Amino acid sequence: MKDYAMIIDYKYCTGCHACEVTCQNEHNFNENEWGIKLTEHGPTKFESGWVWNYVPVPSKLCDLCVEKTSDGSPVPCVLHCLGQCMQVVPVKELADILPALGEEVAVFIP
Amino acid sequence: MGERIIECSDGRIKMRTCAWSPPGDHPVGCGMYLTVEDGKVVKVEGDPQHPITNGRLCVRCLTLPEYMYNEKRIIHPMYRDPKDRGKDVWEEISWDQALDIIVEKWTAIKDKWGRESIVTFQGTGREPALYHSSLTYAVLGSPNAVFPMSGDSCYGPRCSVADFLLGAGYPEMDYAQFLEGRYDDPQYELPKYIILWGKDPLFSNPDGFFGHSLIDLMKRGSKFITIDPRITWISARSEYALQLRPGTDAALGIGMLQVIINEGLYDSEFVEKWTFGFEELKQRVNEYTLEEIEEITTVAKEDIIAVARIYAQNSPSAIMWGLAVDTNSNGTQVGHTIMSLIAITGNFDIPGGNTLSVPASFMGKWRYECANLLEPEIRKKMIGLERYPGFQAAHVVAHPDLVLDALETGDPYELKMAWFFGSNMLANTSNAQPKRWYEALRKMEFNVGQDLFMTPTAMALYDVFLPVATFAEHEGVVLPHFGRNTHMVSAMNKCVDVGECKSDLEICFWIGKRLNPDAWPWETIADFFTQQIQPVMGITFEDLQDEGWHMNAFEYRKYEKGLLRPDGAQGFNTPTGLIELESSLYEDWGEDPLPYFAENILTPFSRPDLAEEFPLIMTTGGRETTSFHSEHRQIKSLRRLMPDPLVQINPETAIQYGISNGDWVAIENPFGRAIEKALITEIIKPGIIHAQHGWWYPEQDGEEPNLFGVWKSTINSLIPHKAIGKLGFGSPYKNVMCKIYKVDSLDS
Ligand code: SF4
Ligand code: SF4
Ligand code: SF4
């Protein structure tokens, strides 16, 4: 298993596609291969109100940029994310980080 | 602050710069480093040190190299015989030849028809928006610089209303944009509520406001209210989402004012001390009942009351007023109600409210001085000056609708030469009735244009094509709010050259040096910028390049400190020295001094005779992250995210017309027709549709008659010409009646 995980605080994900495009640029993947891809729920109206959520899902191609960032440089998708709602963190620290983020949060170990 | 230039160990260099279209968007100035290898930009990285954007970048800047090195980009000056307009028969020429042709034609035309026969067009808020009118007045010597959007329906109306009623520049929400410590600065307070009124800034980054600042504020606890016919991503997270009928905003504003005034929720001390005409306003807003307003706007009375109370009782709160204020022939009154709401609740220029500024600082001063260089006799000939004096009171430009009239009729005089500044006006934001503009402009003696790609407008009209540099290829400054409330100035630093492309300003420089060197005394571009920024900021352009950006000093409550008036007195720079809830200017210009609601001219209510055939209302202009108006349609990575023009239709309406998701749909009214692809969605109410704008198809045949397919999806063809307000502002781009029906293809 990977040592790192990606957290998406998706209540702030606006579906801007910056993560998808950055990741493609960084890795020169084929046109139809993505390190991360957006999913969308809604927009639709529940009785309790509107639901309009995006959650980007990293694919198997995502290596969490572990090598790339070993020199301390930022993870490209995390840097550019317009919602500032992405983090790449050690799996071991998840339990400490998650409580502060509240609801509508996803964790991926791609 | 980071280094301006970083030498990497692998021999590449990283250069810091800030962005402004071309390409991208309005003057936001997002900070970034561009990695240069062998003279080419190979990588784009956000600059985490940038105080507003902190490294965030949207997909338009992330794909910058694809734009810069696109195979379709025009990178040499070109000439085409005017008789071949519309044909792809260009001849590559040198810059010297291009300038010679322009000078020769300009001389011949001004000698024969007068300088006033020259007209220049700017497009959206790209960089040349700062320079085009100065070149027109000071160098070409013509009074006819124009933004051809009917009723000048973008930004100009809001700025003018702010100027008339407050004597100030554009009142932008306080998002700590002026403060070194940003949101943590001790002076700052968070807006408790943010009302987004006809505005969806996340992807439009309007006028230099970085849209995702809203997410910063959301995370810190600001709550939202949206006033928009559509549900937006923010509406889905708002306490209230008022889905009003498009174009009825003034009625809603009147209703909210009525609630706040009648319930005594206003800031009586502020009203007493700093406003003029409160009693008259009170009387006016009580001429409507909330029941009537509910009927006009389709917003429930209870919701109007609730939102009015929330706004008045939660100081500080801010209103962001959007383009929907401008694209409305009743828009002057919409702006009036919004300015009045902010004023009577005491939310102007307080932390977390709406900031004020002196208009026309920075470039503004120079631009006005350039207008003064016009010969007085010529200046009087500015088209529209007599008919719409109020229109030109706060921004000196010719009137767009009357320019089309002049082009078509020769009245008041013939126009013979046109110059296009980065404006793909046949496809785009600009102009209602694009085919009329096209027919009129193809008859000109001479047309010159500057742009980056062969657009439909260039293919149809230009004789000389001047290739323009992207922000990565020239020196420049980014000026949020175009100098009308500018929180910081950033440097565009030249990183590379592409072909023979030059910046809009460099081109203006060359022409200026040849035609009127006295008005153009600077040796270099850097000298020019130093002269512009030094008096205000005390630094040179080179300093700015090294610093990267420079935040402007700011003080809250400027009206108390004598900082809004040239005479240094307290108060506001209006005839009464106060915020004018009742305007002391409007009557002279034939306008009611108090706000009122009026139907736009092409709605089922103003034209019941047409309502049966055209039962739907079309709204337009919503933005996507994948393009800046018509810019970026040829960028493959972006186009695959948004391959087709979309028209949003409510499921109920779609069933009624037998339309399924993904069907091609014709949208039609008595003025025009456009074809877009159906996106069935609940975010829009039954009976209303939203159609995307700015579509053309760079992959299609560019020659006439196809012109890259520009006529296929031109929603502006449905917008009537000169359906504008009494002051000359506001055209119904976001509310005209129409019908829809399924068709087989884009070519039907
Ligand atoms: S962490 Fe790296 S590989 Fe994974 S999605 Fe982000 S940029 Fe792509
Ligand atoms: S970059 Fe961030 S905000 Fe944008 S789609 Fe990806 S996760 Fe969402
Ligand atoms: S908001 Fe504008 S300047 Fe910023 S990254 Fe996007 S296009 Fe570029």
CB atoms within 10 A of CB B412: 14
Cβ of A25 and B218 within 8 Å?
Answer: no
> Is the alpha carbon torsion for B61, B64, B67, B68 positive or negative?
positive
Q: What's the A8 CA to ligand 2 centre distance in angstroms?
A: 9
Distance from CA of A41 to the nearest CA of B (A): 12
Q: Is the CB of B60 under 6 A from ligand 3?
A: yes
Predicted confidence (pLDDT) per residue in B651-673, tens digit? 999 999 999 999 999 999 999 99
Mean pLDDT of B268-287: 98
Instruction: Spell out the per-residue pLDDT of chain A, length 110, in tens.
Output: 789 999 999 999 999 999 999 999 999 898 889 999 999 999 999 999 999 999 999 999 999 999 999 999 999 999 999 999 999 999 999 999 999 999 999 999 99
- Is residue B209 pLDDT above 80, yes or no? yes
Q: Which CATH number fits domain B170-355+570-589: 3.30.300.30, 1.20.1300.10, 3.20.20.70, 3.40.228.10?
A: 3.40.228.10
How far apart CA B525 and CA B504 sit, in angstroms, is 11
For strands B5-7 and B688-691, give the pairing: unpaired
What single letter denotes the amino acid at residue B476? Answer: G
Predicted confidence (pLDDT) per residue in B33-83, tens digit? 999 999 999 999 999 999 999 999 999 999 999 999 999 999 999 999 999
- Is residue B429 pLDDT above 70, yes or no? no
Partner-chain residue, chosen from A22, A43, A83, that has the shortest CB–CB distance to B215: A83
> Is the alpha carbon torsion for B579, B389, B155, B421 positive or negative?
negative
Q: Give the ligand at the shortest distance from the Cα of B55.
A: 3
Residue B645's pLDDT band, with cuts at 50, 70 and 90, is very high
Q: Which stretch of DSSP H or E encloses residue B656?
A: helix B651-656
Distance from CA of A92 to the nearest CA of B (A): 26
Residue B1's pLDDT band, with cuts at 50, 70 and 90, is low
Q: Is the CB of B632 under 6 A from ligand 3?
A: no
| The domain over range B608-743 is classified in CATH as 2.40.40.20 | yes
Residue written as token pair 């009611």: B592
Domain-wise residue ranges, chain B: 5-68, 78-153+361-468, 170-355+570-589, 608-743
φ and ψ at residue B709, rounded to 5 degrees:
65, 20
* Straight-line distance from the first to the last Cα atom of chain A, in angstroms, rounded to the nearest whole number: 9
Distance from CA of A97 to the nearest CA of B (A): 17
- For ligand 1, atom 8, the nearest C-alpha belongs to A23
How far apart CA B662 and CA B674 sit, in angstroms, is 16
Cβ of A21 and B637 within 8 Å?
Answer: yes
- Is residue B197 pLDDT above 80, yes or no? yes
Which chain A residues touch B62 with a CB distance below 8 Å? 18, 21-22, 25, 80
Are B372 and B712 in contact, with CB atoms under 8 Å apart? no
Partner-chain residue, chosen from A31, A74, A80, that has the shortest CB–CB distance to B62: A80
How far apart CA B376 and CA B455 sit, in angstroms, is 37
Which chain A residues touch B216 with a CB distance below 8 Å? 84
How far apart CA B305 and CA B312 sit, in angstroms, is 11
- For ligand 1, atom 1, the nearest C-alpha belongs to A64
How far apart CA B88 and CA B520 sit, in angstroms, is 35
Tell me, what's the pLDDT at B549?
Answer: 96
Cα-based angle B462, B464, B466 (whole degrees, multiple of 5): 105
- Is residue B284 pLDDT above 80, yes or no? yes
Predicted confidence (pLDDT) per residue in B350-394, tens digit? 999 999 998 766 777 788 889 999 999 999 999 999 999 999 998
Beta bridge partners of B678: B647
The pick from A53, A85, A104 for probing ligand 2's pocket by mutation, whose C-beta has the most ligand atoms within 8 angstroms, reads: A85
Beta-carbon contacts of residue B720 (< 8 Å; ≥ 6 apart): B432, B433, B601, B602, B671, B731, B732, B736
Q: What's the A22 CA to ligand 1 centre distance in angstroms?
A: 8
How far apart CA B473 and CA B386 sit, in angstroms, is 42
Distance from CA of A12 to the nearest CA of B (A): 7
DSSP B139: I
Are B253 and B337 in contact, with CB atoms under 8 Å apart? yes
Cα-based angle B482, B151, B615 (whole degrees, multiple of 5): 125
Q: Give the ligand at the shortest distance from the Cα of B635.
A: 3
- Is residue B25 pLDDT above 70, yes or no? yes
Q: Tell which atom from ligand 3 comes closest to the C-alpha of B211.
A: 1
Residue B39 Ramachandran class (φ > 0 left, ψ -120 to 50 alpha, else beta): left
Are B461 and B435 in contact, with CB atoms under 8 Å apart? no
Cα-based angle B493, B499, B503 (whole degrees, multiple of 5): 45
Tell me, what's the pLDDT at B483?
Answer: 87
Tell me, what's the pLDDT at B367?
Answer: 84
Distances (CA, A) of A64 to A17, B289, B676: 17, 59, 39
Enter the ipTM.
0.98
Residue B132, Cβ density class (10 Å: 0-12 exposed, 13-18 middle, ≥19 buried): buried
A69 at interface of B, judged by CB pairs closer than 8 A: no
Query: What would the two tokens of residue B97 be?
Result: 């030849």
In the CATH hierarchy, which top-level class contains the domain B78-153+361-468? alpha beta
- Is residue B430 pLDDT above 70, yes or no? no
Query: Where would I find the beta strands (DSSP E) of B286-345?
Result: 318-321
Find how far residue B32's CA is from the centre of its chain.
Answer: 24
Cα-based angle B513, B518, B520 (whole degrees, multiple of 5): 50
pTM over 0.90: yes
Which chain A residues touch B67 with a CB distance below 8 Å? none
Q: Which stretch of DSSP H or E encloses residue B219?
A: helix B213-220
Q: Give the ligand at the shortest distance from the Cα of A25.
A: 1
Average pLDDT of chain B, as a whole number: 96
Q: Tell which atom from ligand 3 comes closest to the C-alpha of B57.
A: 5
Mean pLDDT of B121-147: 94
What single letter denotes the amino acid at residue B550? Answer: H
Residue written as token pair 């990588």: B43
Beta bridge partners of B736: B618
Query: What would the two tokens of residue B126 be?
Result: 């790209």
Mean pLDDT of B123-150: 94
Alpha helical stretches, state H, B538-586: 541-547
Residue written as token pair 């939202």: B224
Q: Is the CB of A86 under 6 A from ligand 1?
A: no
Q: Any idea of the CA torsion for B605, B608, B611, B615, to the nearest 10 degrees?
A: 20
Q: How many residues does chain B have?
A: 748
Tell me, what's the pLDDT at A31?
Answer: 84
Cβ of A52 and B233 within 8 Å?
Answer: yes
Residue B557 Ramachandran class (φ > 0 left, ψ -120 to 50 alpha, else beta): left
Distance from CA of A70 to the nearest CA of B (A): 16
Residue B113, Cβ density class (10 Å: 0-12 exposed, 13-18 middle, ≥19 buried): middle
Cβ of A82 and B56 within 8 Å?
Answer: yes
Beta-carbon contacts of residue A13 (< 8 Å; ≥ 6 apart): A53, A54, A55, A56, A83, A85
Q: Please state which architecture CATH assigns to domain B5-68.
A: 2-Layer Sandwich (3.30)
| Among the ranges given (B183-187, B286-290, B369-373, B741-745), the one the predictor scored with the smallest mean pLDDT | B369-373
Query: What would the two tokens of residue B2 be?
Result: 């980071």
Mean pLDDT of B437-456: 97
Q: Tell which atom from ligand 3 comes closest to the C-alpha of B18.
A: 3
Residue B266 Ramachandran class (φ > 0 left, ψ -120 to 50 alpha, else beta): beta
| CATH number of the domain located at residue range(s) A4-108 in this protein | 3.30.70.20
What single letter denotes the amino acid at residue B684? Answer: I
Cis before residue B535, ω within 30 degrees of 0?
no
Are B266 and B279 in contact, with CB atoms under 8 Å apart? no
- Is residue B427 pLDDT above 70, yes or no? yes
Comparing CA positions, the residue from B725, B743, B728 lying closest to residue B657 is B743
The pick from A20, A55, A59, A63 for probing ligand 1's pocket by mutation, whose C-beta has the most ligand atoms within 8 angstroms, reads: A63
Domain-wise residue ranges, chain A: 4-108
B235 at interface of A, judged by CB pairs closer than 8 A: yes
How far apart CA B705 and CA B305 sit, in angstroms, is 54
Tell me, what's the pLDDT at B361?
Answer: 65
Partner-chain residue, chosen from A21, A31, A51, that has the shortest CB–CB distance to B59: A21
Report the pocket of ligand 2 as residue ranges, CB < 6 Å: A 8, 13-19, 38, 54, 56, 81-83, 85-86
φ and ψ at residue B649, rounded to 5 degrees:
-135, 135
Q: What's the A29 CA to ligand 1 centre distance in angstroms?
A: 12
How far apart CA B630 and CA B106 sit, in angstroms, is 29
Which chain B residues touch A11 with a CB distance below 8 Å? 237
Comparing CA positions, the residue from B735, B742, B649, B736 lying closest to residue B687 is B649
Comparing CA positions, the residue from B360, B280, B364, B394 lying closest to residue B729 is B394
Tell me, what's the pLDDT at A62?
Answer: 97
Percent of chain B with pLDDT over 70: 99
Query: What would the two tokens of residue A78 be?
Result: 């995390």
Mean pLDDT of B485-514: 96
Residue B334's pLDDT band, with cuts at 50, 70 and 90, is very high
Cis before residue B705, ω within 30 degrees of 0?
yes
Comparing CA positions, the residue from A33, A38, A75, A65 lying closest to residue B46 is A75
Mean pLDDT of B176-192: 97
DSSP A80: H
Query: What would the two tokens of residue B394 be?
Result: 């706060």
Q: Indicate which of B44, B67, B233 best probes the interface with A, i.e. most A CBs within 10 Å of its own CB.
A: B233
CB atoms within 10 A of CB B561: 12
